[in-house]
Amino acid sequence: MDILLYKPQIPQNTGNIVRTCSVTSTGLILTRPLGFSVSSKHLKRAGLDYWNEVNIQYIDDLLAYLKATQRPFYFFSSKVTAPYTAINFSQDAILIFGSETFGLPPEIFDMWPEKCYTIPMVSDARCLNLSNSAAIVLYEALRQQDFKFANTN
């Protein structure tokens, strides 16, 4: 499973997601341009020493990447109504989250409306923090897979 961040802007969020990816054996795909340097001290601090433990891939064109993949993918946005719990996640799913400041590209909602989901919130709420959103969705996906990443001692 992979988390894909579309043009993330806040290094602390990406660092937190790196840490979540590390402890769950999840890959991370970052769509450029990023709103920060990957050598940022804030990014390294938030990701601690987990940064080197995660398979991180960089892409430049989200639409081209998605059109080329054979893997299932899902978008998460506060602008849609279908709940993320309606998804039957597979182990090779790509979980896609938009930028903290401008979300996902508008054409996503037209091209793949059946793949757009939300995390339910009270009405008129802005949105959840990106790293919290990624963790919520990822852990639901992993729960459905019986947490197969888990190392039992």
Pairing of β 94-97 and β 27-31: unpaired
Domain ranges of the chain: 2-144
- Say which residues have a Cβ less than 8 Å from residue 92's Cβ, sequence separation at least 6: 1, 71, 72
What pLDDT is recorded for position 152?
44
Give the N- to C-terminal CA distance of the chain in Å, as an integer. Answer: 23
As a whole number, mean pLDDT of residues 46-52 equals 70
What is the spatial distance between Cα 59 and Cα 57, in angstroms, rounded to a whole number?
7
Count other Cβ atoms within 10 Å, centred on residue 94: 18
pLDDT at 46 over 70: no
Residue 49 phi, psi dihedral angles, 5° rounding: -95, 15
* Confidence label for 151 from pLDDT (cuts 50, 70 and 90): low
Within 10 Å of residue 122's Cβ, how many Cβ atoms?
5
pLDDT at 51: 79
**48 has which bridge partners?**
none
Rounded mean pLDDT of 69-79? 97
Report whether CATH 3.40.1280.10 matches the domain 2-144. yes
Rounded to an integer, what distance in angstroms lies between the CA atom of residue 153 and that of residue 151? 6
Judged against a pLDDT cut of 80, whether residue 39 lies above it is answered with: no
SS3 108: helix
Q: For 7-30, write each residue's pLDDT tens digit.
A: 999 988 998 999 999 999 999 999
* Mean pLDDT to the nearest integer, 133-148: 96
Least-confidence region, from 36-40, 43-47, 106-110, 139-143: 43-47
Separation between Cα atoms, residue 130 and residue 4, nearest integer Å: 12
pTM: 0.93
Please answer whether residues 134 and 17 qualify as being in contact, where contact means their C-beta atoms are separated by less than 8 angstroms: yes
Residue 47 has what pLDDT? 57
Confidence (pLDDT) at 93? 97
Contact 99, 14 (CB under 8 A): no
